[in-house]
A = this chain, B = another copy of it.
Amino acid sequence: MSSSIKTVGFIGTGLMGLPMAKNILSKRFKLNVWNRTPDKTSELQKKGAKVFKDIKDLVQNSKVIVSMLANDDVCKAILIKKIQPYLKKGQIVIDMSSTTQNTALEIGKALKKKKASFLDAPVSGGTIGAEKGTLAIMVGGEKKIFNNVMLLFKSMGTAIYVGKTGCGQVAKLANQTIVGISIGAVSEALILAEAAGADPKAVREIMLHGFAGGPILKNHGLRILTKNFKPGGKASTQLKDMNNIIATAKKYKLNLPIAKKVQELYAKTVKSGRANLDHSALYLFIKALSRQ
């Protein structure tokens, strides 16, 4: 990392952003913070972060700006309307929120007008990964800029460069394709095991040792077996991801039949009143299908 980058501005200290910002701070970066709801920044302030009331001041005092925001509209409102006007040549904006590829391209274009650099760098790993500093970070933009901020990424997890602007978001969509479908796979496997008389807890346990193993069977499989649908990732968010996957597939004239089927199932899961449950509540919807 270039020695000039010691100060990082962080925008969006929510469920994911707060632990990410803490990890940046603990790796001896100076941290500037701004959040729409200022009380969420107090914990960081106690740990030595400088809290700005005006986002303009944060922009003018941070070589690198990291954002972790709720959705595409918020990203565009903050990064293009509130931040872009104050950016100067050579500043780097890293959006770690999950957005569409198009939103990333739009932000990148707007920032280029100020000769500032942009990386789209969404993450996988949830709040646990954010807390432990073990996020998977998928980065699109200029390779040179990626190399310059590698140490910053390292404070939050493992980052890999996947292509030009927007490709970080594409990688996140690919990731969510696997996550959404895998939750369906684990759901149907456990429904089958239980109905056919096997102990589903033992079945999950032994499957973790073979080809079927992985984080979804481990985490979401456990949620299903313990009936813990208190949300980590919400079903409504997974539906948003699946819709985005199918829209992107359409854009590139792709036919993705399994993703399409899982999109339909998430739409029905949400419609059945399970929008605010964890995305593993897909299990509840599929299980109910067999009773009809």
User: Please, which residues of chain B bring their CB within 8 A of the CB of A179?
Assistant: 211-212
Assembly stoichiometry (copies)? 2
Q: Is the CB of A126 within 8 A of B211?
A: yes
Chain A 197-223: CB-based contact to B (< 8 A → 1; otherwise 0): 111001101111111111111010000
Main SS class of interface, A: helix
Q: Is the CB of B255 within 8 A of A175?
A: no
User: Please, which residues of chain B bring their CB within 8 A of the CB of A207?
Assistant: 124, 136, 138, 171, 174-175, 178
Pick 18 A–B contacts, CB within 8 A, sort by A: A160-B209, A167-B199, A171-B198, A171-B203, A174-B203, A175-B210, A177-B188, A179-B212, A185-B258, A192-B245, A192-B248, A192-B254, A210-B215, A213-B215, A214-B216, A255-B286, A258-B261, A258-B286
Which A residues are within 8 Å of any B CB, using their own CB? 101, 123-126, 129, 134-138, 140, 157-164, 166-167, 170-171, 173-179, 181-182, 184-186, 188-193, 195-199, 202-203, 205-217, 219, 245, 248-249, 251-259, 261-262, 265, 286, 289-290, 292
Q: Is the CB of A193 within 8 A of B170?
A: yes
User: Please, which residues of chain B bring their CB within 8 A of the CB of A210?
Assistant: 123-125, 129, 135-136, 175, 215
